[in-house]
A and B are shown apart, each in its own frame.
Chain A
Amino acid sequence: MKLFVSEGNPQCLKVLCALEVTGVQCDVHYVNHEERVVPFLSRPALPALLLPSGRHLFSPNAICRYIFEVNGQESSDLCNQWLEWEATHLQPALAEALHMAVLQGKGSEVSQVLQGPLNFLDQSLNNGNTPYLIGEAVSVADVVLWAALCPVLSDSSLVLGKHKSVKAWFDHVAAMHSCQSAAQKVLQGKGLQGMKSYMQRQPAPQSSQCRDTQPCNS
């Protein structure tokens, strides 16, 4: 199988992290942000995984899930729940936060945009009282959430003072060499600035206000 990624794309951090943590073997190809790898999608979508059967996966979470399953770790109900929350709740907030921090230079407003999701994550970790999201071992949920939060939480301007459990969990996962190595490959040690050229090619995110008041398909 072949994995296509691009430098500075935060979504690619998830899948590279999953490969490093599981040790699953895969050809990794670095391409431009604009490269159209998935033949049926009109907009470029990276990361993309070309499966042995010739089919494509274009969702970073589905790719991570596949990598873990190939490694013998099928995802549980709780894992599914974290992945769904990440895609439906955390991603919209992160897209807005990254847009502000990387393109508009409003890093100080990031913590406010992320307040809701971080509160929820903090409370869940607090109630669970385990080092990882699901019990004592690292799962696909930890990898996906850690990689999603890594660009913003690694930036020194965002202080996690209030979210002590998130900080403990984030640092615990970050201590794994595999995660650091994946982060270095994608962000090149440049932090948020490493994502600038990727962010410039993304459509501006809808603010949370429009998103909630104008559903087209409810």
Chain B
Amino acid sequence: NMALRELSSLEKYLGLKKPNKYSTQGDKKVPVLQNNNGPPLVGLVTIACHLVKEANRPELLGDSAESRAVVQQWLEYTVTKLNSCTKEDIKTILKDLNLYLQDKVYLAGNQFTLADTFMYFGLHPIIMDLAFQEKEQFVNVTRWFDHIQHYPGVRHHLSPVVVLRNRIYTSRHH
């Protein structure tokens, strides 16, 4: 189950000492976290935000009301748009993200947040399948993707993807 692997990677990134036990619920295999202090928490984004607060890293959810809304928006985007899309949808998603990221280092602007982590997880299979020309076509997405996969402690369960070749090098040697 991808969602459970993503939560386990997040736990490692956050440096949580005791790994949590998860179960899943329903046809869509939605993750469930048994919570000692209250009712169980259900849903990938809900649990991820809870873990970030547990780890006392609120800045990962954004440092202002605006940033927090932007982070939640992209988290919602990853669970609604990325997880049930057609080939055609993928092109639109990449085109939109490419335009969005042209003047940004991270999804919420200049600060690394949970939205980068989950967008990276969600885009990983898509970027893996891209041809080199497409990687060059969506250069802002691939630049951002490469930055996040090298961000300390993020990659964990996923394989590294070679995203950009050195243009000068390849034009001289091929």
Binds B, one of A6-14, A61-69, A148-156: A61-69
Q: Are B70 and A57 in contact (CB under 8 A)?
A: yes
Complex alpha-carbon distance, A59 and B73, angstroms: 6
B82 nearest CB across to chain A (Å): 6
* B41 contacts A by Cβ under 8 Å: yes
* A132 contacts B by Cβ under 8 Å: no
Residues of B within 8 A of A65 (CB): 68-69, 72
State which residues 188-218 of A face B: CB under 8 Å.
206, 211-212, 215-218
Residues of A within 8 A of B92 (CB): 42-43
Complex alpha-carbon distance, A206 and B77, angstroms: 18
Residues of B within 8 A of A41 (CB): 96
Residues of B within 8 A of A39 (CB): 99
Return the chain B residue nearest A43 by Cβ.
B92
* B84 contacts A by Cβ under 8 Å: yes
Q: Are A69 and B65 in contact (CB under 8 A)?
A: yes
* B86 contacts A by Cβ under 8 Å: yes
Q: Are B126 and A217 in contact (CB under 8 A)?
A: yes
B49 nearest CB across to chain A (Å): 6
Among A52, A63, A85, A88, chain B packs the most CB atoms within 10 A around the CB of A88
Residues of A within 8 A of B109 (CB): 55
User: 0/1 per residue, A121-155, Cβ < 8 Å to B?
Assistant: 00000000000000000000000000000000000
B15 nearest CB across to chain A (Å): 21
Q: What's the dominant secondary structure at chain B's contact region?
A: helix
Contact with A62, one of B28, B76, B100, B122 (Cβ below 8 angstroms): B76
Complex alpha-carbon distance, A10 and B64, angstroms: 29
Known contacts A59-B77, A216-B85, A217-B122; is-contact A66 B27 (Cβ 8 Å):
no
Q: Are B46 and A216 in contact (CB under 8 A)?
A: no
B127 nearest CB across to chain A (Å): 11
Using a Cβ–Cβ cut-off of 8 Å, how many residues does chain B contribute to the interface with A?
39
Q: Are A40 and B100 in contact (CB under 8 A)?
A: yes
Q: Are B46 and A66 in contact (CB under 8 A)?
A: no
Binds B, one of A76-84, A96-104, A160-168: A76-84
Residues of A within 8 A of B69 (CB): 51, 57, 62-63, 65-66, 69
Return the chain A residue nearest B123 by Cβ.
A217
* A87 contacts B by Cβ under 8 Å: yes
* A70 contacts B by Cβ under 8 Å: yes
Return the chain A residue nearest B1 by Cβ.
A218
Contact with B66, one of A42, A53, A212 (Cβ below 8 angstroms): A53
Complex alpha-carbon distance, A80 and B41, angstroms: 10
Q: Are A88 and B43 in contact (CB under 8 A)?
A: yes
Known contacts A55-B66, A66-B65, A212-B28; is-contact A77 B126 (Cβ 8 Å):
no
* A22 contacts B by Cβ under 8 Å: no
A165 nearest CB across to chain B (Å): 17
Closest 6 CB pairs of A and B: A62-B73, A66-B69, A84-B43, A40-B100, A40-B99, A59-B73
A69-B68, A77-B41 given. 6 additional CB < 8 A pairs?
A40-B100, A59-B76, A66-B68, A83-B76, A215-B84, A218-B83
What are some 5 contacts across the A-B interface (CB < 8 A)?
A42-B95, A89-B28, A215-B83, A216-B85, A217-B122
Interface residues of B (CB under 8 A from A): 2, 27-28, 30, 41-46, 49-50, 65-66, 68-70, 72-73, 76-77, 79-80, 82-87, 90, 92, 95-96, 99-100, 109, 122, 125-126
